[in-house]
Amino acid sequence: MDTTSSKNTAALPFSFTGRTGEYFRIWIVNVMLTIATLGVYSAWAKVRNKRYFYGNTSVDGAAFDYNADPAAILKGRLIAVAVLIVYSVTVQFVPATEPGFWILFLIGLPWLVVRALAFNARNSSWRNIRFEFSSNYREAIKVFIGMPILVVLSLGLAYPYFVCRQKAFVVNNSGYGTTEFDFNAEPGAFYSIYLKAFGLLIVISLLYLFVIPAIIPTAGATDTAPPAPPSPEMLMLALLPLLVIMTLYMIFMTYIQTATTNLVFNSSRLHDHTMISTLHTGRMFWIYVSNLVSIVCFLGLLIPWAKIRVARYRAENLVLNTRSDLDEFVAGEQDRVKATGEEIAEIFDVDLGL
């Protein structure tokens, strides 16, 4: 650990030190205890899981830490499950109430998002300084209720703008101790991502339309022959379009996700420190596809391996560029004051992965 490296200008790479064998054991014990306790242990499992990934991710020689209290998470999960049961039972038996639930959910969304981000931020720390998230409800309502309406009215054209505002909301309200994060990406950069993604989609669709029928002449023919038991080849042919569409969709989503992640990191700054994320779509796509295939083939036993791979790839492609000392950050005061309403609020933070 070299503290002089954090003086003045430096490029500090993130690193991930989690190991598959080690994590596999943690994961399977989590699963077993969760099942054996009929889900009660899941709150402890979540904390152990997150602590493992945070604790193995480090920058400038110091690891991240996750400090959430499992008992608070359990309380939250119980209420979340109760809400879920009330919702699904009511909707099953009185389908007419479904729109009512959706309206309720939409109204509650800004609050849920803010509480989730705040819970996660306040329970994450680095060098014993917690991250913060300021509860800006007015802005949250604009971004999570106002913007979706704009997206609908513009027939989807405003969607990249919505994503931009959403990311800006998250970054601008986040802080490390008393130091705030700043987001400086322009909506144009998001439009560029979505335009490229749709370009990619069109090119691949054209390839699909012209190349597939050329390879398989029978694909377009109608089936007029008397019903015979389908051969495995026939089945493969019938499933091929489905497979192609799924692949297409995954490439499309991976590109958008990767490009957006890079853009968000590269446009965020903390005081005068910046970050550089260099994720590559092709590499990411390969990781996702091979993860998916291995998880399915090995009945879920390779989930730990898959998670470690993703975390390692992400950390290895993230660099913190510092312009000044990293020792000067000051802790915020909020975490020492416990608001009364906070307990109920923390509860819903739990099941909102963002």
Partner 1 sequence: MSLTGTYYDGSTSRAEQVELSISGDRQVHILGGSVDHRIHLDDLMISDRIGNIPRALELPEGARCVINDNDALDRLLGQLDYTGSSTSWIHALESRWRYVVLAIVITVVFSWGMFVRGIPALADQAARALPTSIDHVLGQGTLKILDRGLLDESELDSATRLRIQQRFNTMTKPLEDGNHYHLEFRAGKKLGANALALPSGIIIVTDELVKLAKTDDEVIAVLAHEIGHLIHRHSVRMVMQDSAVALLVTTITGDAFSTSTLVAALPVVLLHSSYSQKFETEADRYSWNYLVDNNIPTGVFADILERISDDGETSTVEKYLSTHPGTQERIRMFRMGSDPGFR
Residues numbered 181 to 210 that lie near partner 1 (CB under 8 A) are none
Instruction: Using the minimum distance from each CB to partner 1, give the nearer residue, 8 or 88.
Output: 88
The verdict on 59 binding partner 1 (CB under 8 A) reads no
The verdict on 269 binding partner 1 (CB under 8 A) reads no
How far is 139 from 183, CA to CA, in rounded Å? 15
Q: Is 282 helix (H, G, I), strand (E, B) or coil?
A: helix
Output the smallest distance, CB 234 to partner 1, in A: 5
Work out the widest C-alpha separation in the chain, in whole angstroms: 80
The verdict on 338 binding partner 1 (CB under 8 A) reads no
Instruction: Using the minimum distance from each CB to partner 1, give the nearer residue, 155 or 354.
Output: 354
Radius of gyration (C-alpha) of the chain in whole angstroms: 24
- The closest alpha carbon to 57, from 290, 343, 317, belongs to 317
Cα distances (Å, whole numbers) of residue 59 to 2, 66, 92, 322, 333 = 12, 15, 49, 11, 24
Output the smallest distance, CB 167 to partner 1, in A: 18
Answer yes or no: are the C-beta atoms of 95 and 40 closer than 8 Å. no
The verdict on 127 binding partner 1 (CB under 8 A) reads yes
Output the smallest distance, CB 142 to partner 1, in A: 26
Output the smallest distance, CB 263 to partner 1, in A: 18
CA angle 141, 147, 150 (to 5 degrees): 140
The verdict on 30 binding partner 1 (CB under 8 A) reads yes
Instruction: Using the minimum distance from each CB to partner 1, give the nearer residue, 341 or 353.
Output: 353
* Dihedral sign from CA coordinates of 8, 11, 12, 14: positive
Q: Which distant-in-sequence residues (6+ apart) come within 8 Å of 55 by Cβ?
A: 63, 64, 65, 66
Instruction: Using the minimum distance from each CB to partner 1, give the nearer residue, 210 or 233.
Output: 233
Q: Which distant-in-sequence residues (6+ apart) come within 8 Å of 221 by Cβ?
A: none
The verdict on 18 binding partner 1 (CB under 8 A) reads yes
Site for partner 1 in 235-264 (CB under 8 A): 235, 237-239, 257
The verdict on 29 binding partner 1 (CB under 8 A) reads yes
| Residue in 5, 15, 20, 26 binding partner 1, rule: CB under 8 A | 26
Answer yes or no: are the C-beta atoms of 291 and 206 closer than 8 Å. no
| Residue in 138, 227, 338, 339 binding partner 1, rule: CB under 8 A | 227
Site for partner 1 in 274-313 (CB under 8 A): 288, 291-292, 295-296, 300-301, 303, 306-307, 310
For tokens 């830490």, what's the residue?
A: 65
For tokens 């400090």, what's the residue?
A: 67
Instruction: Using the minimum distance from each CB to partner 1, give the nearer residue, 192 or 257.
Output: 257
The verdict on 220 binding partner 1 (CB under 8 A) reads no
For residue 161, which amino acid is it? Y
Output the smallest distance, CB 93 to partner 1, in A: 5
| Residue in 79, 150, 248, 331 binding partner 1, rule: CB under 8 A | 331
The verdict on 52 binding partner 1 (CB under 8 A) reads yes
Strands 174-176 and 57-59 come out as: unpaired
- The closest alpha carbon to 347, from 108, 103, 14, belongs to 108
Site for partner 1 in 77-96 (CB under 8 A): 81, 84-85, 88, 92-96
For residue 205, which amino acid is it? S
Instruction: Using the minimum distance from each CB to partner 1, give the nearer residue, 202 or 296.
Output: 296
